[in-house]
Structure 1
Amino acid sequence: MTRASILQQGTIHCFPAGLRDAKGELVNAEVSAVAFDGERLLMASDKPIPGEERSACFALPMTDAGPDDSKLAYYTQPLIKQAVKYEDFALSADGRHVLATTGFDRLDADSNALNDYNHLLIWPLGKPDDVQVVDPDPRDGVEGSLELRGKLNGAIGFPYYKIEGLAAIPGERGDGLLLFGVREQGQAHDDFEYVSRVIGAHYQITANGNLEFLDEMREFYAFDPDSVDGVRFECGLSSLEYDPYHARLYLLTSFENEVDGEEYIGGYLWQMSLEDFRARRAPELVTNPEGQPLEFEHKAEGLAVLDHDRLFVAYDNDRNLELGSVDERDERHACEAPYTILEISASPAS
Structure 2
Amino acid sequence: MQARPLYHNTLHCFPVGLADERQQLVHAEVSAVVHDGERLILGSDKPIPGIERSSIFAVDLDDQGHPREETLTYYTQPLIRQAIKYEDFALTVDGHHVLATTGFDRIHPEDHSLNDYNHLLIWPLGDPDRVQVVDPDPRDGVEGSLELRQRLTAAIGMPYYKIEGLAAIPSDEGDGLLLFGVREQGQHFDDFNYVCRVVGAHYRINEQGQMTFIDEMREHYTFEPGLFDAVEHLCGLSSLEYDPYNHRLYLMTSFENEQGGIDSIGGYLWVIDMADFARGRVPALVENETGGPLVFTHKAEGLAVLDHERLFVAYDNDRELALGDHDVEREQKYACEAPWTLLQMMQ
TM-score in same-fold range (> 0.5) = yes
Tell me the alpha carbon deviations over residues 240-274 of structure 1, each in whole angstroms, 9 at most, x when there is no partner.
Answer: 00000110000000000112320000000000000
Secondary structure at 2:10 match in 1: strand
Give the corresponding residue for 1:215: 215
Secondary structure at 1:63 match in 2: coil
Secondary structure at 2:338 match in 1: strand
Matched, 1:59 2:50: no
Q: What one-letter code is carried by the residue in structure 2 that aligns with 1:55?
A: S
Tell me the alpha carbon deviations over residues 89-137 of structure 1, each in whole angstroms, 9 at most, x when there is no partner.
Answer: 0000111100000000000011110000000000000000000000000
Give the corresponding residue for 1:238: 238
Secondary structure at 1:275 match in 2: helix
Q: CA deviation at 1:325?
A: 2.1
User: Which ranges of structure 1 fall in alignment gaps of 5 or more residues?
Assistant: none
Give the corresponding residue for 2:335: 334
Give the corresponding residue for 1:12: 11
Give the corresponding residue for 1:69: 69
Give the corresponding residue for 1:170: 170
Tell me the alpha carbon deviations over residues 50-94 of structure 1, each in whole angstroms, 9 at most, x when there is no partner.
Answer: 000000000000112410111100000000000000000000011
Higher mean Cα deviation, 239-248 or 316-325?
316-325
User: How many corresponding residue pairs?
Assistant: 345
Give the corresponding residue for 1:150: 150
Q: What one-letter code is carried by the residue in structure 1 that aligns with 2:209?
A: G
Q: What one-letter code is carried by the residue in structure 2 that aligns with 1:342?
A: L
User: What TM-score does the superposition give when structure 1 sets the normalisation length?
Assistant: 0.98
Q: CA deviation at 1:226?
A: 1.2
Matched residues in 1 for 2:253 and 2:259: separation? 19
Give the corresponding residue for 2:182: 182
Q: What one-letter code is carried by the residue in structure 2 that aligns with 1:121?
A: L
Q: What one-letter code is carried by the residue in structure 2 that aligns with 1:335?
A: C
Matched residues in 2 for 1:19 and 1:234: separation? 34
Alignment of 1:67-146 (within 5 A): 67-146=67-146
Give the corresponding residue for 2:276: 276
User: What TM-score does the superposition give when structure 2 sets the normalisation length?
Assistant: 0.99
Matched, 1:304 2:316: no
Matched residues in 2 for 1:11 and 1:212: separation? 37
Q: Which runs of structure 1 show a deviation greater than 4 angstroms over 4 or more consecutive aligned residues? A: none
Tell me the alpha carbon deviations over residues 284-333 of structure 1, each in whole angstroms, 9 at most, x when there is no partner.
Answer: 00000111000000000000000001000000000111112222210000
Give the corresponding residue for 2:313: 313
Matched residues in 2 for 1:338 and 1:142: separation? 37
Matched residues in 2 for 1:126 and 1:188: separation? 38
Matched, 1:21 2:33: no
Identical-pair percentage? 66
Q: What one-letter code is carried by the residue in structure 2 that aligns with 1:39?
A: E
Secondary structure at 1:148 match in 2: helix
User: Which ranges of structure 2 fall in alignment gaps of 5 or more residues?
Assistant: none
Give the corresponding residue for 1:344: 345
Matched residues in 1 for 2:242 and 2:35: separation? 12
Q: What one-letter code is carried by the residue in structure 1 that aligns with 2:252?
A: L
Matched residues in 1 for 2:273 and 2:170: separation? 12
Q: CA deviation at 1:229?
A: 1.5
Matched residues in 2 for 1:163 and 1:147: separation? 15
Matched residues in 1 for 2:320 and 2:261: separation? 15
Q: What one-letter code is carried by the residue in structure 1 that aligns with 2:54?
A: S
Aligned-pair RMSD on alpha carbons?
Answer: 0.6
Give the corresponding residue for 2:198: 198
Matched residues in 2 for 1:254 and 1:128: separation? 30
